[in-house]
Amino acid sequence: MPGLSIKNVTKNFGTVTAVKDVNLQFNTGEMICFLGPSGCGKTTLLRMIAGLDDPTSGAIRFEDQDLTGVPVHQRNIGMVFQSFALFPHLNVGENISYAMRIRGHSRSECEDRARQLLDMVHLPGLEDRKISQLSGGQRQRVAIARALALNPQVFLLDEPMSALDANLREVMQIELRKLQQELGITTVVVTHDQTEAMTMADQIVVMGKAQVLQTGTPMEIYKTPVDKFVAGFIGTSNLLPAKMSGPDGVHVNGVDLTVGGNTGHFSQGDDVLLMTRPEEVFVHHPSDMNVANSVTGTVTFVRDIGATIEILVDCAGHEVISVLTPKDWPDVKVGDQVHVEMPAAACSVLAV
């Protein structure tokens, strides 16, 4: 079912354009991540969905309701702020049920709802705990529970993991995604962490310089980025200067390679960037002969971290990263001349 819709939305602050002509549409129940560097407009777009900022032009709808110009308190939206914004003078249960109390719900209704939500976020029995007695992860769960107290149609989160340490951040990404799937609520998360977006999202919106650069599933964006900015922002990419040598081939470092990705909008002789992902690049021992679709280079760094081995290779002044499993380890060392295989199916081309 069509859910959240953003049509021709622009937001200007004086002479500065924070969001420019954004058009997006998502199905009800999807989790969407706005991903991009600081200052790209993602939080401004979230604030317009929440009603905290009004668009300069354009419209925002949810299902059959036009939200443009509707005050915050009249939108059925729950929001978790980057700072969590919990009330220190209220206990956990009172924080969660705050919105219910100011809307006239009875004490028993508020207490029952707070207990229900604490069970949902795996904090049973903490309704009388002071906020100051909670860990960072517990505070985040309380903030999530508070935002869900009124059964919102849309759930908004602004950098919800930024205050957490790395290990807890990974745990909470999974917990939040599982909770969202359980509730089936349309959810929008703002983040600059590509791992967070890849872990949680049904759809990722990559933003840069106030504009949407690409929208798609995590794998669509990872496998087929539209340009070198997206390729570099989502994961790690190897980008080698190349020249189109035919409809499905490039010339790079004096070698002709076959490209399996779409090359339809490039012509022979065009300068391009050959893109591969590190986990799809294989390094072969110098003694290996006739390695298909490969270039030669010199190993400059090897890092063994147990589950994977990372090898950096200098190919005519351009660094190529290969991430291998131990079973694929070619037993090479720094200074070795090696063959770097980039299978055709793993190769695509981007504009310079």
Question: What pLDDT score does 48 carry?
Answer: 96
Tally of domains within the chain = 2
The radius of gyration of the chain's CA atoms, rounded to the nearest angstrom, is 25
In a shared domain, residues 224 and 281: no
Question: What pLDDT score does 136 carry?
Answer: 85
Residue 169 tokens, joined: 């951040």
Q: Please count the other Cβ atoms lying within 10 Å of the Cβ belonging to residue 65.
A: 12
Cβ atoms of 26 and 77 closer than 8 Å:
no
Is the pTM value of this prediction over 0.95? no
Pick the last residue of a domain from 230, 247, 282: 230
Nearest CA among 280, 277, 288 for reference residue 338 = 288
Count of H helices and E strands in the chain?
Answer: 9, 20
Angle at 268 between CA 265 and CA 271, to 5 degrees: 80
Q: For residue range 213-243, what is the model confidence (pLDDT) as tens digits?
A: 999 999 999 999 999 999 988 889 999 999 9
- 202: which DSSP letter? S
Question: What pLDDT score does 315 carry?
Answer: 94
User: Which CATH number is 52's domain given?
Assistant: 3.40.50.300
Average pLDDT across the chain, whole number:
92
Pick the last residue of a domain from 230, 251, 286: 230
In a shared domain, residues 247 and 270: yes
Which residue has 């949407």 as its token pair? 212
Q: Please count the other Cβ atoms lying within 10 Å of the Cβ belonging to residue 69.
A: 10
Residue 44 tokens, joined: 């401004």
3-state secondary structure of 243: strand
User: Which CATH number is 267's domain given?
Assistant: 2.40.50.100
Q: What percent of the chain has pLDDT over 90?
A: 72
Q: What's the CA gap between 49 and 7, in Å, rounded?
A: 12
3-state secondary structure of 283: strand
Q: For residue range 125-164, what is the model confidence (pLDDT) as tens digits?
A: 999 999 999 988 888 889 999 999 988 999 999 988 877 7
Pick the last residue of a domain from 211, 230, 249: 230
Indicate the pairing of strand 282-284 with strand 337-341. Answer: antiparallel
Q: For residue range 52-101, what is the model confidence (pLDDT) as tens digits?
A: 999 999 999 998 889 998 999 889 899 988 888 899 999 999 999 998 99
In a shared domain, residues 217 and 262: no
Question: What pLDDT score does 7 carry?
Answer: 96
- 38: which DSSP letter? T
In a shared domain, residues 202 and 255: no
Nearest CA among 245, 266, 267 for reference residue 254 = 245
In a shared domain, residues 154 and 9: yes
In a shared domain, residues 57 and 168: yes
Question: What pLDDT score does 2 carry?
Answer: 72
Q: Please count the other Cβ atoms lying within 10 Å of the Cβ belonging to residue 286.
A: 13
In a shared domain, residues 151 and 224: yes
Domain of 343, in residue numbers: 238-351
CA atoms within 13 A on the CB side of 117: 27
In a shared domain, residues 222 and 305: no
Indicate the pairing of strand 154-158 with strand 77-80. Answer: parallel
Nearest CA among 230, 269, 254 for reference residue 318 = 254
For the residues 301-326, what does the mean pLDDT come to?
A: 95
Confidence band (pLDDT; 50, 70, 90) for 1? low
Which residue has 């310079």 as its token pair? 352
In a shared domain, residues 263 and 163: no
In a shared domain, residues 66 and 136: yes
Q: What percent of the chain has pLDDT over 70?
A: 100
- DSSP for 80-125, please give it: E-TT----TTSBHHHHHTHHHHHTT--HHHHHHHHHHHHHHTT-TT
Residue 268 tokens, joined: 């022979």
Confidence band (pLDDT; 50, 70, 90) for 311? very high
3-state secondary structure of 91: strand
In a shared domain, residues 136 and 106: yes
In a shared domain, residues 295 and 174: no
Q: For residue range 251-296, what is the model confidence (pLDDT) as tens digits?
A: 998 899 999 877 778 999 999 999 999 999 999 988 888 899 999 9
The type of residue at 141 is R
Q: For residue range 170-193, what is the model confidence (pLDDT) as tens digits?
A: 888 898 899 899 989 999 999 988
Question: What pLDDT score does 232 carry?
Answer: 87
